[in-house]
Amino acid sequence: MSHQRHSNYRSNGPGHWRTGTSAASSPHPSTPYNSSHHSQPACNVSEIIPRLFISDLSFAENPAMLSAYHITHILSTLSGSVYRPPPAQLPLQPARLHVRVEDSPFAELAAHLPSTTAWLYTALSNPESRVLVHCAEGVSRSVSVVAAFLMWQNGWEPDQAVQYIKSRRVQADPNFGFISQLHEHARTFLRRGHQ
């Protein structure tokens, strides 16, 4: 993604993510986001930015929860399969992307980050979309994928993105290998687009 695409996204992207609230009234003063849900996370799901959620596998496989949260897109980040509730259980079938990656510090995640970031951008460009990113526990793989998206969208460093997610999801804790790959991704992919 070039610098031009990044700039266009920030200036012409989904503007409803931006808020006019003051730092004092914002849930996280140094961020451009304002959550539509200010209550505690339910059923192990957390809204990271408006309409972008992180959860564990049990939430992602639960038709009642997917329906209750009006999830339209699901990005799965785990090596195993994911139960897909049939239309009889979940009439609105979400669009899906499944990235097969092990929960290991040595698993290759960085190679998937450009495609997951593009997929999230496209999904969230529709103001009606509600996007879920999950792994087995909603702790490491899914957090890393969302962190890469926030890095691209906001020009953040990996630590800024991860800390922001931790402020919205306390159990977020990417493994050291994924943190290292986020730094590699920032150096080789994100910064190259700004030159």
Please list the active-site residues: 135
Residue 53 backbone dihedrals phi, psi, to 5 degrees: -120, 150
Determine which helix (DSSP H) or strand (DSSP E) holds 96, and give its type and residue range: strand 95-99
- Between helix 176-185 and helix 141-154 the angle, nearest 10°, is 20
Q: Are strands 131-134 and 95-99 parallel, antiparallel or unpaired?
A: unpaired
CA distances from 132 to 22, 31, 38, 106, 110 (A): 28, 21, 18, 25, 20
Asked whether 165 and 86 are in contact (CB, 8 A), the reply is no
Neighbours of 99 (CB within 10 A): 21
**Helix, strand, coil tally for the chain in percent (to 5):** 40, 10, 45
132 C-beta neighbours (distance < 10 Å), count: 26
Q: Using an 8 Å Cβ cutoff, are 15 and 126 in contact?
A: no
